[in-house]
Amino acid sequence: MAVTPRDVQALVSVARREVATAAQVRRDCFPTDGDGRISRRRLQMLYSAGMLARLRQQVVDPLHGVSAPVYHSTRRGLDFLAANVDPCYANYSCRTPNWQTLVHQLALGEMRILIESAAAGEKDFWVENYTTEFSIVDKDAKLPEQRFRLYTLLAEKPKRLVCNPDFMFVMRNARGARVVVGEHERGTTHPDKAAALKSVGYAELAKRKLHRRWCEEASDRFMVVVTAPDSTWRDKLIASFAKKAEPSLYRFAALPDLTPASYFRSSVWHRCDGTVGPLVKSEGQPEAIPVGAREAAAAGRRASKQQEAQVADR
């Protein structure tokens, strides 16, 4: 088959997302294809040519009822991209996704597109080394801590302790680099349970500075960005994580508030101390503004931790 420029875009879209529905590929590559007929035809041709693989979701998203077929890369498709677009695609995964995690993977793919689109318009820093929890470093390894890049084994005894972020990227500028890890909550796990499951691992990761296994020259402190399906769920997550160790690590945002324009620069990110601000501050921007009943306590914390806050938000 003759591979068109938009076919190449579709292959890139699927590779970057790891898994994608036809609707997601249409938004990325065929924005004028109103009824989706053209994009579906091109995806079918790429599938028939062995450049994409396809499987059907067997678990329906309880919030959105999505059960559309999903596409993922094949070795033939990745080799084509490596030869014609960028050699880095030779290292992308073409494994068949686990049907039990497809809905979660689709959400993480959407998050990657959002973050990379937001970073594309920035001049003060750039985003690199984007990785998801499904990224493999050794496909033949049996143990998850050896097979997956982000899976970090922190202790075996007396109880197994791991830290396994949903995704990670590095923000870098002329002054240095900072690791940002993310948790994408879809509203299917109770906030108290989510905090209990995640916070212990992140606290230990921070204590031992093991985030530097992903970026050796990164700053001492990393940031955990947590996205929630809506503002109500966001506030419940804040209340739950505020009771756990190292609450200053976290920033929380409601997914409807996040766009390529707002992700880094708008005051949509909430902290456990009750302050709200952007992930990246513009020159001369004031410190995060306290809100609600936590105003007095937040003001005191800001006075004592002003230097830490300035480093944390670079």
Predicted TM-score (pTM) of the model is 0.79
What is the per-residue pLDDT across 219-270, written as a single tens digit (0 to 9) for each? 999 999 999 999 999 999 999 999 999 999 999 999 999 999 999 999 999 9
- Cα dist from 196 to 96, 211, 237, whole Å: 31, 20, 11
Bridge pairing between strands 250-254 and 275-277: unpaired
Taking the domains of the chain in order of start, what are their residue ranges?
5-97, 105-312
Structure tokens at 13: 């879209």
Of the pLDDT bands very low, low, confident and very high (cuts 50, 70, 90), residue 285 is very low
Cross-strand pairs, 180: 169, 223
pLDDT of residue 105: 85
- Cα dist from 42 to 1, 5, 7, 46, 286, whole Å: 11, 11, 7, 6, 50
pLDDT of residue 103: 84
Q: How far apart are CA 80 and CA 96, in angstroms?
A: 18
Query: What mean pLDDT comes out for the span 12-41?
Result: 90
Query: What is the per-residue DSSP string for 153-200?
Result: EEE-SSS-EEE--SEEEEEEETTEEEEEEEEE--S-S-HHHHHHHHHH
What mean pLDDT value characterizes the chain?
Answer: 85
Of the pLDDT bands very low, low, confident and very high (cuts 50, 70, 90), residue 62 is low
What is the per-residue pLDDT across 127-162, written as a single tens digit (0 to 9) for each? 999 999 888 888 788 899 998 899 999 999 889 999
Whether residue 286 is predicted with pLDDT greater than 60 in this model: the reply is: no
pLDDT of residue 66: 54
Cross-strand pairs, 128: 170
Structure tokens at 191: 């906030």
Structure tokens at 109: 């793919």
Structure tokens at 38: 């053209």
- The CATH architecture that domain 5-97 belongs to is Orthogonal Bundle (1.10)
Q: How many CB atoms lie within 10 A of CB 23?
A: 13
Phi, psi of 187 (to 5 degrees): 85, 15
Percent of the chain at pLDDT > 70 equals: 86
Residue 174 or 241, more confident = 241
Q: Is the dihedral of CA 130, 242, 163, 302 positive or negative?
A: positive
Whether residue 51 is predicted with pLDDT greater than 90 in this model: the reply is: yes
Q: Which helix (H) or strand (E) holds 71?
A: strand 69-73
